[in-house]
Amino acid sequence: MSITFYHILHVFSLLVLTGFTFYAFAAPAESRKKVLMITGIASLLMFISGFGLITKVVGVGKGAWPLWVWIKLVAWLGLSALAGIGFRRREKATVFMAVAIALVFVAVYSVYTKIGG
């Protein structure tokens, strides 16, 4: 697959994951299963396309990953968990929204500045 395909899939998955995570903070309880399914699929696609990009950009077998890869991995894990947490803790939705925005910002910033490599 081309780097353009991975890039488009990765950004699209990020948009879907972020959008449905924010939707989860205000969605009715009966939509929980559908929202968690969509965020799970988007998260998986983001993971797969992210590692596709890593193999194209960083390469395979060239030692340890740069710091920005680890930062993006932690941000991905945090954002992926927020949709499920948002349904359980509705009273803290404002805090979770701030955390989601911060995670997305840090991930995007780290990749464009190539922190640590």
- pLDDT for the residue numbered 83: 84
Average pLDDT score over residue span 61-69? 77
- State pTM to two decimals: 0.85
In the predicted structure, residue 19 carries a pLDDT above the cut 80: yes
Q: Is 58 helix (H, G, I), strand (E, B) or coil?
A: coil
- Alpha-carbon distance 37 to 93, whole Å? 20
- pLDDT for the residue numbered 61: 66
Dihedral over Cα of 9, 49, 107, 28: its sign: positive
Number of domains forming the structure of the chain: 1
Write out the residue range of the structural domain in which residue 21 sits.
3-113
- pLDDT for the residue numbered 10: 93
Contacts of 67 (CB under 8 A, 6+ apart): 110, 115, 116, 117
Over the stretch 66-89, which tens digit does the pLDDT of each residue have?
A: 888 889 999 999 999 998 888 888
- Alpha-carbon distance 10 to 97, whole Å? 21
- pLDDT for the residue numbered 104: 93
